[in-house]
Chains A and B, each alone.
Chain A
Amino acid sequence: MSGASGSDASAGTTIREALDNDAVLVLGLLLAIYVGFYLLGATLGFQSNGIANSLRRVTFLTAVYAMVVLALNLQWGYTGLFNIGVAGFMAVGVYTMAMATAAPDARVPGLGLPLWVGVVLGMLAAALVGLIAALPALRLRADYLAITTIAFSEIIRFTYLSSTFQSFTVAGTQLGTGGGSGIGIAHTPDDVVIALLIENPIGAVLYAPIENLLTGWGIVPNVVRGWVYAVALLVGVLAFYWLLSRIAHSPFGRVLKAIREDEDVAQALGKDTRAFKIKAFMVGCALMGLVGILWQGSLGFVNPNSFLPQVTFFIWIALIIGGAGSNTGSVLGGALFAGLLFEGPRYVANVVDQSFQLGSAPSTIAGGVGPLFAGDPIPLVAYTLANIAPLRLVLVGVVLIVLMHRRPEGLLGHRKETAASIDLGRPTRDGSASAGADSIPVGDRDTGGEGR
């Protein structure tokens, strides 16, 4: 990051310059992932529809991960609240939306409200549950808060899983969660967004030639429509980024950073830190509820087991890769996790499996190791490719460990913002203060010296 500028430059240009660079950074990374996927698929003769669909998945996952990581960054990166119950808050958002929008005569009856009302209700419910979790829990140490939030998220999952609430009646209205068999979503956000974008006079005129061009390359119309939603979600990432940067740079955000660095000091300065923490926690939870709707809601069907604790850990890993405390880092972490760690191994296994005839994979690892002694590694390779799903999670774990060893602050963690409205960096020799982005934040020095 060479975004250093002279002290005489106005703040406006500094921000714009940094944003320009960040935009280049994020877009460059996305482009690199696309090119990597395309080259691998194309050289090994993977069909273009398959490549397009994989890239759509990468884009979709990048967008939803970036959004939820941004929300988590507000809680952990800015305020220092160690929330590992993210999956539970997402579940509350999407379940409330599903229950509010389902038709009254559906298998799992609902209120039959329009999608936007459902989204608002979902976010409010997630914020409310966040309040219930936060009110008492914020008194706790970080590791206790972690255990409390994960227990909370499991209690939420058990509640949606239970047959007691499969269907119930409130004030004469039939409602239900569907229990273990899940709940259908009447108006999926992707259908609504796609219809909104391409089924109006201007949209239709713009969309028709794009669709024609892409279907000409052998891409199925459904995949093209999926791309429209994925791109719309990328715009959503921009909106999240804007909102969270506004929060972070507001006086409110400065108090949050101060709480992260030293809550006692913030209290001594007369800030009601409890209220600030609760507000930040609730805003983060509401945004997590929204992402739950945009992500799981777009699959047309939700089931409590989409919200296992490992979902939370995936989001955490994305945040840690990018670097807690930096919004750009959150977006980068989301893209790296979704593209390289989550979709990448599966895509590679898929492509390799289609390109090389390895024969059917043995059903157990013994069937792969046995021929190894006879000098035949192919069955083991085939077994590995067929079981890439668990191996990819091993990779996730190893990356997490290596990050903690080599770079616990993440890729952009050095950009953690200071809890000050002015630059705290020492002036450099030529008289200009070094840019805030490059200086070592005061807080980092503190936490770095804690080791005994």
Chain B
Amino acid sequence: MGIADSASRGRELLRDQPIVLVATVVVAALVLDLVRRVLAGDVTTSNVVVLVWRGVVNGLVIGLAGIGLSMTYSILNFANFAHGDYITSGAFAGWATTWVIAGLGAADLGSLLLVGAGGNVFSSDLGTSIVTTPGAILAGLLISGVGAVVLALVIDRLVYRPLRGEDGITLLIASIGVAFALRYLLVFVFTTGVRSVAVTPPSFRFSILGVGMGFGYHEVTLLVCALALMAAVHLLLQRTKLGKAMRAMSDNEDLARITGIPTERVIRWTWILGAGLAGVAGYLLILESGTIAYNRGWILLLFIFAAVIMGGIGSVYGAILGGLIIGLTDTLSQVWLPSEFTQAAAFALMILILLYRPEGLFAGRTTA
């Protein structure tokens, strides 16, 4: 390729997508500045490693939960504001299971089912962690997904199915109602108390090239589960007819129905996949942070929206990539901004993407 060729391509890029160029320049400048700061000793390398690791871990949770939001957004054509509360509901279902399995006999059933709402049982009594009680954790992981799926199917039957075909805003408003009802039912049952549900085992430490690093067992569990589930979703959507049917439906629902695609069944599978992933993501989020609260999912929701929009609505890979970008923005922006503004930075990034590339980074590459 000659120089003139690449020069003309560069000019084309400048003309067609100036924003891509600006974004590239900004990101490059930030990376250079980070390197400068590390070399100047303002930020230590191990600090950067910690920030990146935390960004990846948070990003995977956001991405995992974002897959479901992205699928319902593209197939049912509405922004589901209740998605965050599916996450919380799944987490509570899962942790109640873990506590019952880990603590049956040691404490009364009511306190265990309510994940220690009354303040009679504490996580330190049960010692719940992936190292000491792996069975209880895995059972909880499974139930968190199953619980969220059941909840999503019931809510779909009661709330969303009668509204099929209504415009997106009507469904969006109904989902705000669902979010309120779910979140405060959780408060009614589990109270507003923030409590520790898992004991964090000591992280394993080692050093590479003289940089000390520590990884928590729970973080690694999260990483492994998230990557495995993402791979499973990838295979499911690529190798089965369901993926094809979903793509067809998000493209044109009427046409899909004419071709004989059972649209209601596809919608049911969409909820099963999306809510299951959301519930598991909620469980893993709580496992990683160690504490549970009724509004964890709701707080995460705007991040998930940011990730989904960034990746392009309907794209599974976009949601994962968007999640990683948002997670890394949230943690790495601490290098430049006071820590109170890291969330604001992530939201600002979302607004910028909405303004200049509303179709998302993976536009036109919807894979499911």
Contacts and interface: CB of A to CB of B under 8 A. Distances in A.
Interface in A279-295: none
Contacts of B191: 364
Interface stretch (B44-52, B98-106, B157-165, B242-250): B157-165
Contacts of B188: 365, 387, 390-391, 394
Given A158-B344, A390-B184, A400-B180, A151 B306 contact: yes
Given A365-B188, A452-B254, A397 B177 contact: yes
A313 B302 CA distance: 15
Interface string A376-399: 000000000001001101101111
B340 A366 contact: no
Contact of B347 (A154, A313, A387): A154
A50 B183 CA distance: 31
B170 A365 contact: no
B306 A143 contact: no
A155 interface: yes
Contacts, number: 154
A364 B119 CA distance: 9
A154 B184 contact: no
A152 B350 CA distance: 10
Interface stretch (A56-64, A134-142, A423-431): A134-142
Contacts of A450: 167
A81 to B, nearest CB: 12
A404 B184 contact: no
Interface stretch (A160-168, A255-263, A347-355): A160-168
Given A140-B354, A162-B338, A364-B114, A398 B177 contact: yes
Interface string A141-153: 1111011101110
A400 B341 contact: no
Interface residues of B, number: 55
B181 A394 contact: yes
A394 B163 CA distance: 20
A159 interface: yes
A195 interface: no
Nearest to A161: B340
Nearest to A145: B354
Of B162, B167, B254, B351, the most chain A CB neighbours within 10 A belong to: B351
A367 interface: yes
A408 B165 CA distance: 14
A397 B185 CA distance: 10
B184 A394 contact: yes
B267 to A, nearest CB: 14
B176 A159 contact: no
A397 B180 contact: yes
A316 B176 contact: yes
A199 to B, nearest CB: 43
Interface in A406-452: 408, 447, 450-452
A158 B340 contact: yes
A363 B180 CA distance: 23
Interface residues of A, number: 52
B180 A393 contact: yes
Interface string B180-222: 1111110111011000000000000000000000000000000
B362 interface: no
B166 interface: yes
A320 interface: yes
Given A151-B302, A363-B118, A143 B172 contact: yes
B348 A155 contact: yes
A158 B351 contact: no
A370 interface: yes
A451 B343 CA distance: 37
A408 B170 contact: yes
Contact of A136 (B119, B172, B338, B355): B355
Contacts of A78: none
Contacts of B171: 404
Nearest to A396: B180
A393 B177 contact: no
B180 A394 contact: yes
Interface string A294-324: 0000000000000000100100100010000
A152 B351 CA distance: 8
A387 B176 CA distance: 22
B40 to A, nearest CB: 23
Given A394-B188, A401-B159, A452-B254, A144 B309 contact: yes
A320 B306 CA distance: 26
Contact of B350 (A141, A151, A316): A151
Nearest to B337: A164
A95 interface: no
Nearest to A156: B344
Nearest to A366: B110
A79 to B, nearest CB: 14
Nearest to B171: A404
B113 interface: yes
A365 B189 contact: yes
Contact of A370 (B110, B305, B309): B110
B174 to A, nearest CB: 4
Contacts of A365: 114, 117, 188-189
Nearest to A149: B351
A267 B174 CA distance: 31
B127 interface: no
A396 B183 CA distance: 12
B184 A162 contact: no
B340 A163 contact: yes
B78 interface: yes
B178 interface: yes
Contacts of B159: 401, 405
Contact of A393 (B165, B184, B347): B184
B169 A143 contact: yes
B251 to A, nearest CB: 14
B154 interface: no
Contacts of B173: 316, 320, 400, 404
B290 interface: no
Given A143-B78, A451-B165, A313 B180 contact: yes
A399 to B, nearest CB: 7
B354 A147 contact: yes
A390 B187 contact: yes
Nearest to A147: B305
A367 B118 contact: yes
Contacts of A141: 358
Nearest to A370: B110
A163 B341 CA distance: 10
Minimum-distance CB pairs A-B, first 3: A366-B110, A400-B177, A397-B180
7 contacts: A141-B358, A151-B350, A154-B347, A162-B338, A364-B118, A364-B191, A393-B183
Given A316-B176, A401-B178, 6 more contacts: A365-B114, A390-B187, A393-B183, A400-B176, A401-B177, A404-B173
Interface of B: 78-79, 110-111, 113-114, 117-119, 159, 162-163, 165-174, 176-185, 187-189, 191-192, 253-254, 302, 305-306, 309, 338, 340-341, 343-344, 347-348, 350-351, 354-355, 358
